[in-house]
Structure 1
């Protein structure tokens, strides 16, 4: 009964949040609409890492590589070959998936710090290619002039508000797909690997295969986010896929709450807001980033969403106990 009420409250909260995201933006200035659009794109990126970090227990310092690769695919195809949106999207998702399928054979057999080192190396390789392959990627200057996509319907995505709703739709579809994934038998097996990989092997599960598929799925969603980031930003550079970018994504997941999907989305919104707000006053954003990370580890090690859920459960339990007090004001042991 408690789980049912908890699920209903979560659904009600989600519906309320979606309604707010749909209704309020027309009353905001273009600056806030643009900022919300950026938050939604990075929310999908953070949720994609949550598949690895939150549900499988694998930390990756190369996740921004998939994000950047997809952005470069869109930039090259759209600016040099005037390729349409559909082909750009498919290609932008395919290449990160292809790369993850190749390197996945290495990372799937690793765990802990070894997984972290391998993904860090992959991220540095992808960043190095973007930085050094000047004839293809533009090197340090990146690629500019990426126009908003033409999706084949009479809707002008050049307008910030229209593009915002387009990205909101992308966010909701991604959230639904990832929710279905983590709640499926496959998703439950990822949680089992997170808790005890050796036990899952004893039970007959091919843990490396589950980690491999989870890694590929995370890369696919990161690539999709990278596609829309390129269209949104109109520019892509090696800085979109460097180590700092990967660390920011990890912080989004840790701050919001690993293993919740919504938590990393919330963490992405907070980080993007603070980054835009603080960078207007100081260039020492990395110092602020490190401070946020330390404070999160000290005071909310499970993330904001998990902290909120635990407090709500505690209040629910206290309220339930109070309803079972006897007439003398003493608690009866009837909560079990």
Structure 2
């Protein structure tokens, strides 16, 4: 009984200590890699709200990540790198784009929804590629100022790798907490109902179209948060962040990690990015390796990394 009671809290405390001590004990390269993992973890969790909880498989989610990154980069260069200014403005732009794209996309379902989100994402990519005055076109936005927080005379800079790591970690925890609250709320239960049987939910009086649109916008905004952080972390944004392959990659993160779990997609992001760094350093055929990993999870571990962990914890208890 004691073992069953303390296994999960012990793991939570160990992970908390690991994340706090990491930047003080690890090399700069490792800290930068984990920071990138946390950013893409936010991105993957945002998509999980659609895929895992609402049953809407989007192949255009990178549009909101890219819009958030471009908006934050442009605002940092031309207005202010203050996160209290450029993040709300960037997310407002992302929310507007998600509202427009979602309004049309949620009218269809299944493969039609997937293809329509892909089409809209490619439209955003084409606009970014040609709108050189704002996006830099194929050259991208370079030299984006590092993010900072300014309140009156108080100023908090994020020039150091460790400072940026903790900034991203805080946002990761906030986004996770917000999404966890959402999926456990009545709104979240309605989304799960849409995933399980939308017709039945509509029959008992739910406006499923409104719920799906709200979920689409919320997911888009959280993807935008990841994009804003990415712009400040990378100091460069290109059209690659908007291309369909970016949407495909984050979808693979969700599937490999375990959809409908929130934590799973974040673990999927960690697995993909770490493997990518390891494999790409020794061979240029890392996409083939990633494909084999994906095939393995599809056939041998359909519940993803989170499913494997839950099975292991169940045995430990």
- The alignment partner of 1:151 has SS state of strand
Q: How far 1:11 moved relative to its partner?
A: 5.2
Structure 2 residue runs without a partner (length 5+): none
What residue number does 2:50 align with?
A: 52
Partner of 1:327: none
Query: Does residue 278 of structure 1 match 2:279?
Result: yes
- Where 1:59 maps in the other structure, the secondary structure is coil
Q: After superposition, what is the alpha-carbon deviation per residue over 1:294-320, rounded to whole angstroms, capped at 9, x for unaligned? A: 11101111211023324544x37xx8x
Q: Greater shift after overlay, 275-284 or 184-193?
A: 275-284
CA distance in 1, matches of 2:8, 2:23: 23
Q: Does residue 175 in structure 1 map to residue 176 in structure 2?
A: yes
Rounded to whole Å, the distance in 1 between the matches of 2:92 and 2:286 is 33
Matched with 1:303 is: 304
SS of corresponding position for 1:61: coil
Range with greater deviation from structure 2 (234-243 or 126-135): 126-135
For residues 83 and 276 of structure 1, the distance between their equivalents in structure 2, rounded to whole angstroms, comes to 29
Name the counterpart of 1:334: none
- Aligned: 1:136 with 2:134: yes
RMSD of aligned C-alpha atoms? 1.9
Q: Deviations over 1:161-184 (max 9, x none)?
A: 111011111111111111000100
Give the structure-2-normalised TM-score.
Answer: 0.93
Match of 2:295 in 1: 294
**Corresponding residue for 2:38?**
40
- Whole-angstrom CA distance in 2 between matches of 1:250 and 1:140: 25
Q: For each residue in 1:2-43, what CA deviation from the matched residue of structure 2 results, as whole angstroms up to 9, or x when unmatched?
A: xxx68x755553343222111232110111111111010100
Q: In structure 1, what is the equivalent of residue 249 of structure 2?
A: 248
Residue 293 of structure 1 deviates from its aligned partner by 1.6
Equivalent pair of 1:155/1:162 in contact (CA under 8 Å) = no
1:132/1:139 contact within 8 Å kept:
yes
Q: 1:55, 1:259 within 8 Å by CA — same for their partners in 2?
A: yes
**Matched residues in 2 for 1:9 and 1:261: separation?**
20
- CA gap of 1:79–1:182, structure 2 versus 1, over 3 A, is same
Task: Tell whether 2:98 aligns with 1:63.
Answer: no
Q: Distance in 2 between matches of 1:11 and 1:203?
A: 40
Q: Give the structure 2 partner of residue 200 of structure 1.
A: 201
Aligned 1:1-336 pairs, distance under 5 A: 10=8, 12-82=10-80, 84-152=82-150, 153-313=154-314, 315=315
Whether the 8 Å contact between 1:108 and 1:209 is mirrored in structure 2 is: no
- Unaligned stretches of 5+ residues in structure 1: 320-336
SS of residue matched to 1:196:
helix
TM-score (norm 1): 0.88
- The alignment covers a number of residue pairs equal to 312
CA distance in 2, matches of 1:278, 1:243: 22
Give the whole-Å Cα distance in 2 for the aligned partners of 1:231 and 1:112: 35
Rg (Cα) greater in structure: 1
